[in-house]
A and B are shown apart, each in its own frame.
Chain A
Amino acid sequence: MNIFNKLIKNFGKANSIALLICIILLLLEFAGDRHGETEYEDFLFFPAFFGFISCIIIFRIGVALRAVFMRDEDYYDK
């Protein structure tokens, strides 16, 4: 109980609930036969891993591309 209180205090209520859902989804992997459209997806926790990493990659590339594609708001009006 103390761990949950600490988690909610440090991470926020909504964030903690999201984390809890993620943990439940990982545990559900053992409740049935999960298989994907391709054989790679059959690895344990593959979709979870893929979703997390994809989001981080998109964020990293997005931040890097700011330097290349971002201009002043009135760029086309000059």
Chain B
Amino acid sequence: MINSIPPGLVMFLGAFLVPLFPHIYRQFYMIFLVLLSAISLFSAEGSHLIIQVQDIQFLLHHSDNLSFPFAIVFHIAAFLVIIYGGHIKDWREQLAILSYAGAAIAALHAGDLFTLFLWWEATAFTSVILIFGGKTYRAYRSAIRYIVIQVGSGILLLSGAILLFQSNNEAIFKELDINSTAGLLIFIAFGIKAAFPFLNGWLQDSYPEASEAGTVALSAFTTKLAIYALARSYAGVEILIYIGALMTFFPIFFAVIENDLRRVLAFSLNNQLGFMVVAIGIGTELAINGAVAHAFAHIIYKGLLFMSMGAVLYRVGTCKASELGGLFKYMPITAVCSIVGAVSISAFPLFSGFVAKSLIMSSLGYEGLTFIYFMLLFASAGVLHHSGIKIPFFAFFAHDAGLKPKEAPINMQAAMVLSSVLCILIGIFPSLFYQILPYSTYYQPYDFSHVLSQLQLLMFAVFAFICLWHFKIYPPELNSTVLNSDWFYRILFYKITNFFVIRLFGLWEVFSSSLIKVVKLIYVKVQTSSIQSGNSAVKVGRSTVLILFSLGFVLVCNYLLF
């Protein structure tokens, strides 16, 4: 019976009882729900819970070899975020974390597009609470933009699902044709959540504005759900290779100039998603394994990096590189964990990033996609630059900023240490890790050639940074805002709309004043005739004109329509 309940549902529903529990008991209750949800993971492959509503079949619980690894890592992420946020006393944030994780896990097990849509929107509405949790005016405005875009993505998904249902009489969540209208709409819906180029502004806009634990949760679920959806429906679609390559390439430069270290990580997240999108575009068994492995490893090491920066934010009150430095002495555990995360994301051998990224790079090599291969190799050096070096260096080393904070709270340390251990274990035992991937293909990441090539690439990139820093060529970090694709709707669209609205009001002003003149003229004549006949004068204002105009409009419409 329990196996037929979709994983995540108990977390989603159980989250609404969170306010009933006092602070510490709440954490145990939340962890209990995560473990309870994980039981359903071990149900056999196939569809387990189907509900028929009129003509539509809702496949609420469908599991297979693709959903399984994502579901495992989503549960791990939920567990780690709950521990990390253990110090939070605000039940609203705890409720949001648990329901958001539950909705994302349930979405992984959706067997049809309508069920996916419901959970897709549930992740949007639960995650936005975490951005409001930033409790600043910037966070509030960012949350509004976030929810508009996320709901927009859901509407596109629903539109596509309806079109598909109209033509096929079913809307199964499986391979879709990108050349059909329905397929294209759903592709864009997934692309928004996967932060495709020019659709990525919401990610760097909102994630760094959320609370410390909120950002960790956000980094784990939404975008990886989109990666899962792309892998399920658009594996092998060629355009994804080019989209993914662009995603790996451009965020590097933005991350290099960004000052807010959590925003640097948000750019880096975008770059890492690019690797996964490229792999999905290739579509071979090795590449899909690579995409899933990378998503799995990425959730943990990116979460770890966000945790370390969240700990810094919690203790120091800022995450700006220009205001940080020298924290290693005061926050050694956070610093070491941050370095583990940095080394993992840079794909140093013996860490999780290496065993995951190698699958993608090898699949590119096997398919002969040389240009894309070198773009991704270049991006790998970029990852090292902005996430591997910039994050730990500017926060914990560089210059002494004179800050003397306490070490992170014990629950934060526990979550960071656990994540670090996972990063190392995955890196040391890749064969165990590969067993949970969708396809059983043999791959050996540790050979002399591969390890030496990677170490040369990374160490010489590190050495280049050392030279730039030592010879004072590297410019200081500056308090600034880096323009991103959200500029289009935050500034350009706003200005264009403003321009037209002002002109429209101007036109209305001219039109209404001339109308008033005409009506006044008529009234003057009526007034004259009234005075002549001994009646009192009538005053004409805008409201009178508006009422007369509306009445006239209704009369004309009535005449024309009926």
- Interface positions of A (Cβ within 8 A of B): 11-12, 15, 18-19, 21-22, 25-26, 28-29, 32-38, 40-41, 45, 47-59, 61-63, 65-66, 68-77
Contact = CB atoms under 8 A, between A and B. Distances in A.
Given A21-B459, A70-B482, A71-B481, A51 B381 contact: yes
> Is chain B's binding surface mostly helix, strand, loop or mixed?
helix
B459 A77 contact: no
A43 B362 CA distance: 18
Given A25-B456, A32-B448, A54-B382, A59 B256 contact: yes
A41 B373 CA distance: 11
Contacts of B465: 55, 59
A51 B461 contact: yes
Interface of B: 138, 252-254, 256-257, 361-362, 364-366, 370, 373-374, 377-378, 381-382, 384-385, 448-449, 452-466, 468, 470, 473-475, 478-484, 490-491
Contact of B381 (A15, A58, A62): A58
> Is chain A's binding surface mostly helix, strand, loop or mixed?
helix
Contact of A52 (B252, B461, B475): B461
A52 B479 CA distance: 28
7 contacts: A18-B466, A21-B459, A33-B449, A34-B452, A55-B464, A59-B474, A70-B257
B444 to A, nearest CB: 14
A18 B453 contact: no
Given A37-B362, A50-B381, A75 B457 contact: no
A72 B460 contact: no
A76 B449 contact: no
A38 B365 contact: yes
Contact of A22 (B384, B459, B473, B490): B459
Which of A48, A58, A66, A76 gathers most chain B CB within 10 Å?
Answer: A58
A44 B277 CA distance: 31
Contacts of A26: 456
A72 B481 contact: yes
B453 A34 contact: yes
Given A38-B373, A40-B374, A47-B457, 10 more contacts: A11-B470, A15-B470, A18-B463, A48-B459, A50-B457, A54-B461, A58-B385, A61-B256, A62-B253, A73-B480
B463 A22 contact: yes
B460 A22 contact: yes
Nearest to A63: B475
A37 B449 CA distance: 10
Which of B252, B449, B478, B484 gathers most chain A CB within 10 Å?
Answer: B449
A21 B219 CA distance: 34
Contacts of B481: 70-76
